[in-house]
Structures are given as structure tokens and as C-alpha cells.
Amino acid sequence: MYGIDMKYTVKTLLSKGLSQRAISKELGISRKTVKKYLEEIQNNNILLMTKIEREKILDVYKSDIEEWLSSGLTGVLILEKLNIEQKLNVSYPTVSRFLKQFKTPEVYIPLIAKPGEEAQVDFGYLGKFIKDGKNVKVWCFSMVLSHSRYAYHCLVTNQSISSFIWCHINAFEYFGGVPLTVKIDNLKTGVSIPNFYEPTIQRQYAEFLEYYGSAPITARIKRGQDKGKVEAGVKYVKNNFLKRIEHKCFYQLEKDLLNWTNNICNKRLHGTTKKVPFDIFMQIESTCLKQLPNKRYEIFKIEQRKVNNYGHVSFKDNFYSVPYNYIGKLLTIKSTDSLIKIYDDINQVAIHSICSKKGEFISKQEHKPPEKQRKTEQEYSLKAIKSGDSTYEFFKILKEIKPFSWNRIMQGIFSLQINYSTKIVDSACKRALEYSAISYTAVKNICKNNLYDKPIESLSIMGNNEFAHNLKQYDNLFNI
């Protein structure tokens, strides 16, 4: 009787979905005995009880839910529709579980790269090590060539844009060439705004890759398979290299990592390709990479500065000019030890050599408003010639008698052409020359008092240093 009851117990547990192993553990009998009972049940045509599927509360609304999903509604919005429109009282987990039946598993397509077509990069945290007497966090930078799986690894203590670019430079030089594209994660050093379709790549990173003839591609957010080759490489560093290390010296770790990369990582039989990365690289991929440029890319330090009221930005104890229309705006500064480049959102607006002094204003005339730009002597001369013969003669004499201030006076003479015609100003210069009144004030008052078209007063010598003339005329020249 015990045997019959046990058979039905086994049958009942099996109908509830338990495995033979679970039934054996539940009843305290061997798996061989469980198997024996199952065979007897089948031979005696004892019907196995099937699991009774309970009707789900949302089954009635299945067609509606399918329609809502096809129109793009999220689970949260579907929950609102059910509770508000259908007067239900269900929880989000209930809706979420029900929606799983409509999901189809994503099919992953192998991403096969041609030789020299792509490299993938990533960082992996290795822990803390001692560097220069300090306990510092250490990351491993990895770049893997997607075709051959040939890899480069190095250590960094930060993930700044400068470190990121230096790692790329070292990787390209390790490979002896440059891949057509570099696939990066949506990390801040490489990507400003994570967006797969229109990523805003960091300006300097994009400029750097362009200099080397390469281009960035960003992996999709939460899509590790997009750069699975390098992520597998980072895991390999952690599981194969790091577990060999029994010290905490940063500089020794650098040497160990290079040795491991050269002699183990790149010379092992790769688990996926079933080939040795070093062999594939040397035989095929190395010749497909782009040539390195003759000169390394120069890494700039990136900062931001606000333009002061003088049209300059402050940088390392000096002030550097930008075009006057940028006053009050925030601009981006890219600097090296010898050069400073200044940018707005898109364009380079100024470039200067770094001044070694302190407190200096390094200015360019073209950055000033047109009316404040210092003109050359040739420019003054050409403008005076265009203004008339008398203006040009006035200019030549002015230069001789006032060699240090002639340019300011000529600016004043030219400014009179705003209110008076060029012909009137030229006539006024002629009258000033006749009276040897070589000054801006004289020319201005001749224009103002309409003296440029009056008859010339005759002068006669009365005696030693005495002249017979109308003193009122001189008063009018100087507006006394």
C-alpha cells in the first residue's frame, strides 16, 4: 500500500513541476527509486496530473494591452489605463509580469570587423597601489584591435581627457599604426552627452582622432555587446594578470603589465577566434592600419575664462586679447607650455604665444573695435592722399613738427569728415597751412566758423618781429 501511495505522491509532485532530483530530496528516496516509480506510472497508464493554469486577472484585457504596447505606451501608462479606465486595482509588478509574454528576446548579431577597421577602448579598476609614497586608485586602460584581438594595456591614476588621449597615443605607437575607427564607451572623457545617434564627442578628443586620421564611434548605452571585445579584455586583465600580482608597487605593476601583455595576453590562443592575436596582427592587421603622423599630437589643457571689459581673458598672470565682440562672454582656453588657443562654442577666435612675464596685456590690434585700432603710417598716408592735396601736405608737416602725437591729431582731422565734407576739411587744412596753424583745433575751428572760403589776409612786416595783420582772424582760428 505504501508503494501505491508513494507512486501517487511522486506523480503529484511531478505534476507540480518538480524535477526528479527535487522529488528525491523532498521524499527522502533515491533518484533511482523516483525514476522507477515514473516508469511504472507510465507503463500502467496512470495519467499524470497536469498543472492547472489559473486565469490571470489581466487575461481579459490581453488584446487591449497588446494594442497599447504597439502604440508605444510604457508599462506605467498601461497601468494608469487599467486602473483609471477599466476601474481595476492592480499593481505595477502585476502589469510588468504580464507584459513579459509580449517581449521577444533580443538577437545579437556578431560584430565582425575587417583588419584595421576598428579598435575598442575601455577602463577597468584594478584597486589601490603605492605610487611615490601615496596610496592611489589605479585603472587599466585597454585598447583591443577588433579583428586580431591584439591588445595594448597601460595604467592610469585618473580618467581625465589628457590621460585618455595619452593612452590612445601610446596604444597607436604600440601598434605602429592607427585604426580607421575607435569605439568608446559613453564615459565623460570621450563623450559629453551620451547619445548613440548624435554623440557630442569631446572637442579635443575628436580633434585628436582627426589628427591621427581616425574617428570615434560610441557604444550604445547599456549595450555591453557593442564593445564586448575590449570588455572581455578588461576582464582578462583582472582575472589573469591581476591575480598573479602579490605586491602593491605602482611602478612594478607597470612593468609587470607590459610583460604580461607582450608574452601572455597577445600570445595566447584566443578563446573566441581560436587563433593567436600576435600572429593575426603580424600576418594581416598590422599592414592595414593607417600610418602614424610624423609628429605626436600636442595635448592641450582645457579651461574656461570670462572675457573682461578690456576684451581680454586672464591666463597665468597675464591678459590675452580676443575680438571686442566677445566682452562678457565665457570662452574655452586650450593651452600648452608655449601656446594658448581661445574658442567660442565652435570656432577658434584667438591664438597667442605664452608670455613669460607677469601682469602683461598681450593685445592684437585686429581685436579692438575698428575706431580704436592703431593704423600704420602708410594707412594714414593713403587716407590723407584720398582726402585731398592740402590734407596730405598738412599730414607731412604734422609728422615733422609733432613726431610723437601726429597720429592722434590725424585721427581728429579724419573724424571731422563725419560732420563736414571731405572737400571742406581739405580746404580747412589749406587755410591752416597758410597761417601755419598746424593743429586739430585750428582745422576744426576753420570748419566751424566757415573760414575755409574767406579771402586770405595779407601780411606785411612793420618792423622787427612785428606784423600788420588782423588779429581777429587768428582769434577765429583758435575760437578765442
Provide the whole-model pTM: 0.50
Task: Dump pLDDT digits (tens) for 271-308.
Answer: 777 899 999 999 999 999 999 999 999 887 888 899 99
Architecture of the domain spanning 2-43: Orthogonal Bundle (1.10)
Around Cβ 459, how many Cβ atoms within 10 Å?
11
Class of domain 118-288: alpha beta
- Whether 474 shows a pLDDT value over 60: the answer reads no
- Whether 351 shows a pLDDT value over 80: the answer reads yes
Q: Rg for the chain (alpha carbons), in Å? A: 43
User: Which one has a higher pLDDT value, 323 or 19?
Assistant: 323
Task: Dump pLDDT digits (tens) for 197-242.
Answer: 344 446 778 888 999 999 887 654 444 444 444 457 788 888 888 9
CB 441 within 8 A of CB 478: yes
User: What is the model's pLDDT at position 476?
Assistant: 53
Task: Dump pLDDT digits (tens) for 424-439.
Answer: 999 999 999 998 999 9
- Whether 15 shows a pLDDT value over 90: the answer reads no
- Beta strands at 348-353 and 191-193: parallel, antiparallel or unpaired: unpaired
Q: What is the mean pLDDT of residues 452-468?
A: 49
Q: What is the mean pLDDT of residues 102-119?
A: 70
- Whether 258 shows a pLDDT value over 80: the answer reads yes
Task: Dump pLDDT digits (tens) for 34-59.
Answer: 788 777 777 665 444 444 455 678 88
User: Which one has a higher pLDDT value, 197 or 117?
Assistant: 117
User: What is the model's pLDDT at position 196?
Assistant: 35
